[in-house]
Every structure is written in structure tokens, then in C-alpha cells.
Amino acid sequence: MNVRPLAALALAAVTTSIIGLALAQVPAPAAKPAAPAALSDSLPVPPPPQIQGKAWVLMDFATGQVIAGDNGEMQVEPASITKVMTSYVVAAEMKSGKVKGTDQVMMSEHAWREGGAGTEGSYSGFEVNKTAPLVEMEKGMVVQSGNDAAIALAEHVAGSEDAFASLMNAYAARIGMQHSHFVNPHGLSAPGHVSTSRDLATLGRALIRDFPEAYSYNKIKEYTVGPITQRNRNLLLWRDPSVDGIKTGHHSGAGYCLMASAKRGDQRLISVVMGSTSENQRAVDSQALLNWGFRFFETHRLYEANKAISKQKVWKGAADEVQLGVDAPMLVSTPRGKYAQLKPSMEIPKTLVAPIAKGQKIGSVKVTLDGKVIAQRPLVALNAVEEGGFFKRMWDELMMWWDS
């Protein structure tokens, strides 16, 4: 990931808008890029690969930007990729102290009958009416895609599949999955059990970011329960050493699906292919998307968190100015060689009056490329400005009137 500061860019001046917003002052251009762009970077980015599937997206992990996609908001059946949501809920409940990795999880008769070896779906192999540590049960769900393990985990965490589905939907809403609804923990076809390729990429990003240990189970290539050893169905784990997850899915209604993630250097990408035509085709298409994304896109850190990028006049305050910045690193994904073409600007109210609290949102910063906004974040006050004394307030009131 490129971490050159945005101060290295020339900033385009914009006029004050009619709604009373003003462009903030930003540092002038500084050093040139450390190395010249490759000759091919000056050429247009070629279109993404042709994907044989109903819907797909390619997302940059660091920024959450969708680099490319087709039918990304189309609701589809997520099949066993549902189990990534189950993993997220289990990890979140563990972090909150509700359950522990050492908990003994019962493979109930219901879980065994609905998702065990006697069914047509994938299963883990844990014996009915016997227990296993929660972490082992989860690996049986993640690596072997065990439907029985998913049900057993749901029953242990929430008491029933229905109660666990309510948790799934609550966590999905919290992480920004706007078009998804879950009714079971395993992903077998059911009315109302839907998601989108974009939502699933958002889920994969959240699991990697929030619960890296739980995510690490996804790169295990095979797992043994009793006498049964099963291989992870994600073929990319054998084909590309940079791939470390995430999850496959398949049933007649969903087709062949694959959520994959790879990290090369400091850059990580997430691909989601839904409704493909075969196990091999979903792997081939996912590999092509990842290769295309790594070749033609890069991630830049534009602003550091809690560092001043603008100073603004404050009226009626004990101090005369406030420093503005972003409360988390601001990153952006761009085609390679396009960094110098980014155009950042800030919109800030013309008049700022004390008191101002530290962390208070004041305006926004946005970045455009080729006329399109590709990143936008709120600006926050990095320091508090208390209200000034009586005479300071009266004087500033006069000066504000005079300026107006």
C-alpha cells in the first residue's frame, strides 16, 4: 500500500458554493513520487475479465471500495458462504464473553439429522449426541463446510437456529450489509435467505478486519474429525500462495459460489463470484479477478488519523482557530499511475463559532478522479475551543457583523 501523503498532489481550487461552504486551505505540492510510473500505467485500464456468474464484485480491503463488479446489488442465494456470517457471529459473541473457544458444543440430534452425513449436503463428521470444543466445531464448519457443525454452533450460541438467525441479521446490519437477510446458519436454500455479492464482500472484509484469528481458519487446507479427513473446497488455496480464504458455496438454487481473498505485499483484495457454472470455473474466474485487480490498482493513504490537514478561524472562542483532520486513516484505491490525478477538496462552513468540542464533525473532505467522487470522509475538530470571555465574544460579534 502506497503511503505517500496527499500533500504531494496539486490541489484544484474551487469556488465557494451558494450554501455557504468554503474550500479549506491544504498544503502545497511537495516532493515528486519516489519512482516513475511504469510506461503501461499511462494507458487506460483494460476491462475486467469476463465472469461466468450471475453477480460478482472485486473489493479493495483497505478502503472498502468496489473496484469492479456486475449485478453487485442483485439479491442471490448465498449458499454456504452464509457460514462466513456464522463465523462472524460466533467470533463476536466470543469477544463479548458470551461463549468461549473451550466450550463443549453438543452435536444434537437435530443438527445431525438436518446437516449430518445422512443428508445430501456437506457435513463435518462429529458424532451425534457427543460434544467437541467450540473451536474444533467451528473448524469443521469452516474447512469442511459442515452444515451439522453450523447448526450445532447456532444452538450453542443462541439456543436455536431461529434465535441465531436474529443475531446474524443484527450483526449484518451493524457491518453495513444493506440487502441481506438470513434465516439459517448454514446456507441451505430457504425462502427469504438472500444476500448480494457486494454485501458478502463487505462481510468478508469485516471478518478479516475484526476477527483475524477466526479468519485464519479459512486457509486450513484439510481437517480431520475422527476417521474422516476432508479437503477445503477452495481450490485457490492450492493454486495461489497469496490466497488465504475465504469460503465456497453451492446448491442447485445458488450455483457455484466463491468468496476469495488474497494479500500481495501490503495490498489485499476480496473477490465474490456468485452463480458460476462449476467448481473449477468459480476458481478460475476468482483468480482472474484477483490478478487483474493487483495488476491494475493500488491503494494510497491520503491522510493520517488525528493529524491536522486544515486550520480554520473560530469566532467568540478562547482560542482563535481549530485544527481539522480525519478520525481514521483516509485511504483510496486508484488505477496504477493515476495518483497524481487525484483532486481533493474540503467543504467547511464559512463561519465557525465557539464552543467547539473535540471530535465534533465540521465539514468534509472528498477526493475525485476523472470527475467522480471516489472517497469522502467527515472532518472533525482535533482540539476543543472553549467559549471566550464576555469582551472577546462582544468584539467578535462586532467583527462578524462588519465582515458580513
Binding residues for substrate: 247
Report the C-alpha gap between 179 and 202 in whole angstroms. 11
The distance of Cα 181 from the centroid of its chain, to the nearest Å, equals 18
| Residue 318 near residue 278 (C-beta atoms within 8 A) | no
Annotated catalytic residue, options 87, 122, 124, 145: 145
Annotated catalytic residue, options 80, 87, 124, 180: 80
- The annotated binding site is made up of 247
216 carries an active-site annotation: no
Q: Which residues pair with 322 in a beta bridge?
A: 312
Q: How far is CA 103 from CA 36, 98, 132, 257, 372, in A?
A: 55, 10, 8, 31, 50
> For residue 148, which of 177, 128, 163 has the smallest C-alpha distance?
128
Report the C-alpha gap between 216 and 23 in whole angstroms. 44
Cβ neighbour number for residue 325 with a 10 Å cutoff: 20
| Residue 259 near residue 154 (C-beta atoms within 8 A) | no
Q: 259: which residues sit within 8 A by CB, 6+ positions away? A: 81, 84, 200, 201, 204, 245, 246, 247, 248, 249, 270, 271, 272
Annotated catalytic residue, options 83, 139, 316, 338: 83
313 carries an active-site annotation: no
Query: ∠ at Cα 206 (361, 146), nearest 5°?
Result: 160
276 carries an active-site annotation: no
Q: What is the DSSP letter of 272?
A: E
Give the number of residues written for the chain: 404
Q: What single string gives the DSSP state of each residue in 324-363?
A: EEBSS-EEEEEETT-GGG-EEEEEEES--BS-B-TT-EEE
Amino acid at 344: P
Convert 90-120 into a string of H (helix), E (strand) and C (coil).
Answer: HHHHHHCCCCCCCCEEECCHHHHHHHCCCCC
Quote the strand ranges of 125-284, DSSP E: 131-133, 222-225, 228-231, 243-251, 255-264, 267-276
Question: Where in the sequence numbering do the catalytic residues fall?
Answer: 80, 83, 145
